[in-house]
Structure 1
């Protein structure tokens, strides 16, 4: 287990932890939460050995292997698959040992290396790496592309896949969802839920934390408090704790006032002096309860738009994509886009990365021209646009006030808000930019502070159509909640691209799906979309498995074994060697399918029993005669039985597909 006992942790002169003790047990999935700047990343640095405690005792099992996402941008011509496979350091070392043994002709060393490679999962390492890459949103034809050919966000996904590839007892993830879309996020949740080791994760996505963690560590006031539940449980328990603390504080203050009143009244009277003195001592001995210090919560709101055209805009037969300046080359992303965006609509845009969500938003804004078709804007349309790369266009050498003064001059007499310097200062103060921060260069600000500045600039523009493309990437939970509340109070039209399901669920009334070159309404809610994503991922895995199984058995063995040469020779293997390889492959297949077949039998028995219980309960309900309380209890049992049946059927289908994919083509 990981143990912190009376830990003192500092960064420079700032004390982050003071006399803190906490234990993380093996296999626990832990959310580390707290305000920005509280010290979460510094605690990670303690866990990974990059920072040492300034006091107290910190211990972690010596034999534990740790994995975390490297923060540097990878620069290599390796293929995506090879780059991720190399995340398994033990496997790489064993492959190097095999090469050395093969070069020296040492038969015993070669045999030992093959045995250890088999134990390390070398035969399916490439398949496992590719499953990680595909799960994180890459296309099958990108598996062999050089790492350097991907953009920065996709390369960071490969770093995440590389960390997941490494066998580990402890996995540290700091904001792993920042570069992911909703499809990849759903996949990652499933992977982490099955991860058998100890997981510590920092994230500002409450639904992600609820899905993958069962313990929450709250970092606040230089201390760590452990809660035995996910993030939602932590919020409930912390609110209750604060309420109890405030009530206890109020009671104690009343007691103190009563004692002090007696002391002040009777301390000068000889007959009461002893009683007064005893109350003075009681006050001195009393352990004072601290008041609840209310943290300054952040909130803001959008002003009422000056106009509300309806429709806001209409898109007719649009072809969206990119073309060169001279028009000689063009790349079409979306075709046949027809849509009307009405006043008051609140639309969540769904779809995997690379399908064209940002292309659609940029085309609507006008950042990229249509390849064909037309967009007709309503009279008085005022678009407020938050782009994914919006933080990059801020001028790093200028302060927030200078940004607003530039914006005010740009609008001139048509500015939607006041333009006097004092008015601009007051406006910035609403977004927690005051005092020294008003004059602080943007380049020295955190990502969250920059995002808050962009939100302030957006609100100042007083738009009637908001287009938000991943606005929460740099926002903490408090600011995300403030954004959600502000959007719910917005009177105009909203179009939102986000992987934050809590925000999407809170502010969207309709969903549009961008997929396969089209933009169309999605008939369902976010839960339906998650099922759609999981089904798409299952279909993709089945197709890949079927494609892999279509190769000859000996070829599949060679592929899964990374085409390792036969000991002592570079020649092709003889027939005896081929038969040995086929026997190994059959044995490996048997080992893979045996537990799956056993699980299918268990599920079939479980389904039969649950369906029999359900039928009996339905017959009992049909008979009548039960009280209202009994009806409610039987209804709950019936719902639980149906949930169990649905879950078992879903698992039966998944296991059956896996078993079918593993079977040879002639089976």
Structure 2
């Protein structure tokens, strides 16, 4: 927030923002959106937040195959126009190839027919003059494959009428909290920065213990955590394969290679240093790490921070196909709406459960 405030304060002629919504809660994002819409100078922003891009941008620059392609409109308009362009190009390619094939068949059939020699020569010249239409490149979607698990009966973790404070003299962080996570859960946690979301997660996971009330944890449940600082879990001087070998020494090389491939880490990347991989590729290695032991419950703290749009889509699709439980804290509205089935709103020491993102958002950011 301080870095962002400094950039805005100088009122530059060209404002460059790289993932500005990372680490901001909803009220801060909304304020930033309104500020940037009224910004009268040039803004260039890199972001994975679709809602933010739709609200703020008037043009999209798409970097693809080392070329910059320009589109008028916001992100949704870009997505529609680009899909239409690709469809039109594919149809033009197919029509061109059909015409080429027809002309070539005529040439081959009558090449040695003296009566049709002039027609054949005309077709040969016309074929040579035809402009080549490029085929649309197949954009293979990035895919994750989370390991399926045996379902656990009953609650995995729960809090029963819990109170918690780091220092009671300064007041309680959470009061009278009763929540639970079961095998079918897809719970999104909302709340302003400092509301107590991380404290709530730590109480559920056992990193903290309640002052009053009960924390109930099923000891047979395997839990994995993925947080916004996931790169800190990695050894940047090791290769993905060697790194996993240090963590799972009993696994075979083939098993580890297969597991990395589940997360879009192809064989050509297995032997490259993690520090030389892109941010998205490093995130996939982190996912490979936290899912290797086949967790029943994935706990994620701002998982979309530092992920690109393709990786976010891959994660969303993987979770939808997975049979484990998910508990996640996020300010990414797209991710919350796509993944969450239930929502916990955290504000003023209270935790309230909701069935819709809209209601949870209204409760969590009412002030």
Q: Cα deviations across residues 532-585 of structure 1 (Å, max 9, x unaligned)? A: 63x52xxxxxxxxxxxxxxxxxxxxxxxxxxxxxxxxxxxxxxxxxxxxxxxxx
Tell me how many residue pairs correspond in the alignment: 367
Scaled by the length of structure 1, the TM-score of the pair is 0.52
Q: Which has the higher contact order (CA 8 A, sep 6+)?
A: 2
Q: Secondary structure at the match of 1:471?
A: coil
Deviation at 1:247, TM superposition (A): 0.7
Q: Is the 8 A contact 2:145 2:263 kept in 1?
A: no
Counterpart-to-counterpart distance in 2, 1:524 and 1:300: 26
Structure 2 residue 316 is matched with structure 1 residue 493: no
Q: Helix, strand or coil: the match of 1:271?
A: helix
Q: Which residue of 1 aligns with 2:41?
A: 197
CA distance, structure 1, for counterparts of residue 71 and residue 86 of structure 2: 14
Q: Which moved more, 1:370-379 or 1:311-320?
A: 370-379
Instruction: Work out which of the residue numbers 77, 84, 94 in structure 2 matches 1:240.
Output: 84
Matching of residues 108-507 of structure 1 within 5 Å: 157-320=1-164, 333-378=173-218, 380-409=220-249, 419-507=251-339
CA distance in 2, matches of 1:268, 1:379: 83
Q: Is the 8 A contact 1:317 1:372 kept in 2?
A: yes
Equivalent residue of 2:248, what SS?
helix
Name the one with the larger helix percent: 1
**CA separation in 2, counterparts of 1:531 and 1:331?**
21
Partners in 1 of 2:207 and 2:241 — Cα distance?
A: 26
Counterpart-to-counterpart distance in 2, 1:383 and 1:180: 27
Which of the pair has more CA radius of gyration? 1
CA distance in 1 between counterparts of 2:131 and 2:189 reads 55
Q: Is the 8 A contact 1:306 1:462 kept in 2?
A: no
Please state how far the C-alpha of 1:296 moved relative to its aligned partner: 2.6
Deviation at 1:370, TM superposition (A): 4.2
Pair 1:307–1:391, CA change in 2 (3 A): same
Please provide the CA RMSD for this pair. Answer: 2.5
* CA distance in structure 1 between the aligned counterparts of 2:362 and 2:350, rounded to whole angstroms: 19
How far did 1:512 drift? 0.9
Deviations 1:438-482 (A, max 9, x none): 122222323221111111223322222121101111211111011
Provide the C-alpha distance between the structure 1 equivalents of 2:198 and 2:2, rounded to a whole number of angstroms.
Answer: 21
Structure 1: tracts of 5 or more residues without a match: 1-156, 324-328, 413-418, 537-667
Unaligned runs of 5+ in 2: none
d(CA) in 2 for partners of 1:330, 1:447:
40
Deviation, structure 1 residue 319: 3.9
Q: Residues of 1 paired with 2:160 and 2:88: CA distance? A: 59
Using the alignment, how far apart are the partners of 2:283 and 2:138 within structure 1? 24
